[in-house]
Amino acid sequence: MWTSNAPRARLALEDGSVWHGYAFGAQGTRLGEVVFNTSMTGYQEIITDPSYAGQIVVMTATQIGNTGINTEDDEARRAFLSGFVVRELSPCVSNWRATTDLSTWLASQGVVGIADVDTRAITRRLREKGSLKGIISTDDSLTDKELVEQARAWHGLDGVDLVQTVTCEEAYHWAEPAPDEWEFRQWQPAHPYRQRAPLPFRFHVVAYDFGIKRNILRRLASHGCRVTVVPAHTPAEEVLALAPDGVLLSNGPGDPAAIPYAVEATRQLLGRVPIFGICLGHQILGQAFGGRTYRLKFGHHGGNQPVKHLPTGRVEISAHNHNFAVDPETLPPDVEVTHVNLNDGCCEGLRHRHVPALSVQYHPEAGPGPHDADPLFAEFVEMMRVFARSRQGEV
């Protein structure tokens, strides 16, 4: 909703198109890769997902901001995305949990927003042409042509290690307490292939922080795990020295081919400890298996992607946020594809046939999104339990 006294903002794309609207959030000029997200809810979790580092996110939902911002729903210590684009910024906040509005909070995060632009037209352009380099600016001194030229001159995200901009600086223990047995039974949904680790024994999971979402840590805790989070560059031997029952490879931003140190550490961990990869972690594991990754045309970003679990035929509606995928044709025979995307057929899940390692390219922890894939955490716990028993000679 345009108001005459609102500061102006522009979004310019490398294809030469320029979109005029009004500014909210921070002032300034930011470059980024422009992608669209089809989630209907959860904009705060989307904005604070570190996987969006270096990107300008276009929301396809018509109105954003109506539930405000609260401190409990952040998925990271701050927002890492470059810009935020909406059709309409809600003029009011209606949520008892809210502590501030979206514009004020984005300003504190240094994120430039633009509203009152045709997000449907921008989304169709991205679907047709693929993800585009772009620039979002509140600077009236720059001409439209200059903004387009800056977008075209930007180096983009291919080959760039963005993980180092989002990872933690030192290891820490996740403080979220695991629920007791009664709480676990009360709110955990039943599922035919769910296997639950016995409580109160808690498996120790070391989670690599490539840009980890807090809801991944919450879900691990809810499944009876105690979690140590380590920086992305932590060598395999240092991880093993922590005596983990399992290792989690987290989500994160950027090109998976740009972080060979993570692939090498994962390769050294294979067979020595159970591994579960999520999103970027899936792509890292795929490379550790010997596979290669490639860029999708416009990526998967949203909470409504249908994924088929091949062993059971079960279809999950799932949350996604990635621009790259693993090429299944480059994987060795010992690795099976467990999940495929029903929209474009790309690989969404892997499992090794002989060593305890599995991964999915989407987000089983939701935050935001559906909870269909939550049983994957229970599968990881079961994998740790079987591995522990095999080491003790019980199986």
User: For residues 47 and 53, what is the distance between their CA atoms, to the nearest angstrom?
Assistant: 10
C-beta of residue 228 within 8 angstroms of C-beta of residue 207: yes
Phi and psi angles of residue 133, each rounded to the nearest 5 degrees, phi first: -70, 140
With tokens 């930007």, the residue in question is 154
C-beta of residue 207 within 8 angstroms of C-beta of residue 273: no
C-beta of residue 261 within 8 angstroms of C-beta of residue 220: no
A 10 A CB-CB count for 342 gives 13
Nearest-CA neighbor of 233 among 287, 167, 151? 167
Q: Give me the count of residues in the chain.
A: 395
DSSP type of residue 393: T
DSSP type of residue 363: B
The residues that are catalytic are: 279, 363, 365
Strand partners, 56: 34, 83
Q: Within 13 Å and on the Cβ side, how many CA atoms surround 149? A: 5
